[in-house]
Amino acid sequence: MPIVPLHGHDALRARLAEARDRGALPQSLLLHGESGVGKQRLALWLAQSILCEGDTRPCASCRQCRYSLELSHPDLIWAFPRPKLKDSDPSLDDIKFDLGQAAQDRAKAGGLYPPPPGSDGIFVATTRLLVQMASVTPAMARRKVIVVGEADRMAPPLENAEAPAANAFLKLLEEPPADTNIILTSSAPGALLPTIRSRVVAIRVAPLGEDAMRAWLEEPLVKETLDKAHLPGRIDERLRLAGGAPGRLLASQQSSAAANAARRLLEVALSGDRARLLRVSLAQGSSGARGAFTDILDALTVELHERSRTAVESADERTARNAARAVSVVEESKVLAAGNVSPQLITASLLRDLSRVLAPP
């Protein structure tokens, strides 16, 4: 079954297509923007257009396009955060099989999927696979495309033995084979390793406009999926919840626990109660900054965006401005959470800064 068509991003798509047709499309790209705005779907569209053999690319009807839309094209490699395999040193075949199964699961859902848990990652064994696949001659098309979704979840090498694989991937980004395009996506480009950022051309992906969002919401499979998630039935309400990011609706049910935790953090920050701040910070645990804590920070960003929109609607300029500043504070915490920083320390600093930024006059 083909995945749901891409809606919106028309101006950006035109720019990318024009660069592709001129032979000026950078081989290593980074698509970055807010979570849920469709960066990976746009990357898959671009990959399809590169592999397409029709006159108007992507034509959606040639063999290359059909396989791309079914996420089964052998020259389209899509990597994204996955659970770490139980084997401490998995084979490349094991990694390839795991990614292939996960991609087919997403294909069966029409490309509509919730964000992966915060404990998932793109581990060094996966980078080894990508480097190997980049060296292989295309199987069907004239080129091959590697898409790495949520590249900020790439784990740095933890041991000296892993360094060669990580360095090989950096070399791949810097000088891809002549027949290979690499497209990274990220909602937190600041969390990417500097050595990665310096090797790609960054392009910002904006939220969808209302017309594009309405068109996406009218897709039969989208309506069915959102109905099953028990989201509000009215399109206007779904538009408001999405805020230009379709992925927010797909994440709604899975992230309910994270949303509740984010609301509690916001409540504590607004209270200004230092004792509560300390208690909540300690409750985050000390098991490293990955996992559910990352999901809570994402949910907190959504809560603050909603606070800002509500304030704008009620002409409360000061609250809207402070909520926007608070989003920047959370984004800084996400950068810390991408490293080996204790959630306790991050939460304590975050709540202190949010309390200051959101404090009433």
Mean pLDDT across the chain, nearest whole number? 89
Residue 53 within any structural domain of the chain = yes
Q: How many CA atoms lie within 13 A of 120 on its CB side?
A: 16
* Cβ(67)–Cβ(103) below 8 Å: no
CATH number at residue 64: 3.40.50.300
Residue 108 lies in a domain: yes
Residue type, 185: T
Closest CA to 78 of 119, 42, 35: 42
Strand partners, 145: 76, 181
Q: For position 165, what pLDDT does the model report?
A: 64
Residues 58 and 206 in one domain: yes
Q: How many CA atoms lie within 13 A of 66 on its CB side?
A: 4
Encode 21-60: b = buried (16+ Cβ within 10 Å), e = exposed. eeeebebbbbbbbbbbbbbbbbbbbbbbbbbbeeeebbeb
Based on the fold, state whether residues 21 and 148 are members of the same structural domain. yes
194 and 297, same domain (yes or no): no
Residue 151: DSSP 8-state: G
Poorest-pLDDT segment among 14-18, 26-30, 83-87, 131-135? 83-87
Does the structure show a pLDDT above 50 at 149? Answer: yes
Query: Among the three residues 153, 184, 210, which one is the final residue of a domain in this structure?
Result: 210
Q: Do 139 and 264 share a structural domain?
A: no
Contacts of 293 (CB under 8 A, 6+ apart): 118, 284, 337, 343, 346
Whether residue 249 is contained in a domain is answered as: no
Question: Considering the domain boundaries, does residue 321 fall inside one?
Answer: yes
What gap in Å lies between CA 177 and CA 182, rounded to an integer? 10
How many Cβ atoms are within 10 Å of 347's Cβ, its own excluded?
26
Question: Within this chain, do residues 31 and 168 fall inside the same structural domain, yes or no?
Answer: yes
Residue ending a domain, among 156, 185, 210, is 210
Mean pLDDT, residues 118-141 taken together:
91
The pTM is what? 0.75
Domain boundary among 210, 237, 269: 210
Tally the residues of the chain: 361
Residue with tokens 């892993």: 162
Please check the confidence at residue 274 and state whether its pLDDT lies above 80. Answer: yes
- Is residue 288 over pLDDT 50? no
Question: How far is it between the farthest Cα atoms of the chain?
Answer: 66
Q: What span, in angstroms and rounded, lies between the C-alpha atoms of 330 and 335?
A: 9
Q: Is 248 within the bounds of a domain?
A: no
Whole-angstrom Cα distance, residue 252 to residue 275?
Answer: 31
68 and 156 both lie in a single domain: yes
Model pLDDT, residue 161: 60
Beta-bridge mates of residue 146: 77, 182
DSSP class of residue 92 equals: H
Q: Kindly give the residue spans of alpha helices, DSSP state H, lying in the chain.
A: 10-21, 39-51, 63-69, 92-108, 124-134, 163-174, 194-197, 210-217, 220-228, 235-242, 246-250, 256-271, 274-283, 292-313, 317-337, 343-358
Q: What is the pLDDT of residues 334-346, one digit of tens each?
A: 888 766 678 888 9
Residues 68 and 121 in one domain: yes
User: Is 64 in the same domain as 201?
Assistant: yes
Flag whether 267 is in a domain: yes
pLDDT tens-digit map of 242-260: 999 999 899 875 566 677 7
Q: Do 156 and 265 belong to one domain?
A: no
Q: How far apart are CA 3 and CA 109, in angstroms?
A: 8
Q: Left, alpha or beta for 320 (phi > 0: left; psi -120 to 50: alpha)?
A: alpha
Task: Answer yes or no: do 133 and 32 share one domain.
Answer: yes
Is 131 among the domain residues? yes
| Domain coverage including residue 113 | 10-210
Number of domains in the chain: 2
Does position 14 have pLDDT exceeding 50, yes or no? yes
- DSSP per-residue codes, 117-147: PTT-BB-HHHHHHHHHHHTSPPSSSSSEEEE
Task: Please determine, for residue 48, whether its predicted confidence score (pLDDT) is greater than 90.
Answer: yes
Same domain for 61 and 147, yes or no, is yes
Q: Which residues lie closer than 8 Å to 125 by C-beta, 6 or more apart? A: 85, 89, 90, 92, 95, 165
Do 70 and 200 lie in one domain? The reply is yes
- Residue 245 forms part of a structural domain: no
Please state, for a pLDDT cut of 70, what percent of the chain lies above it. 92
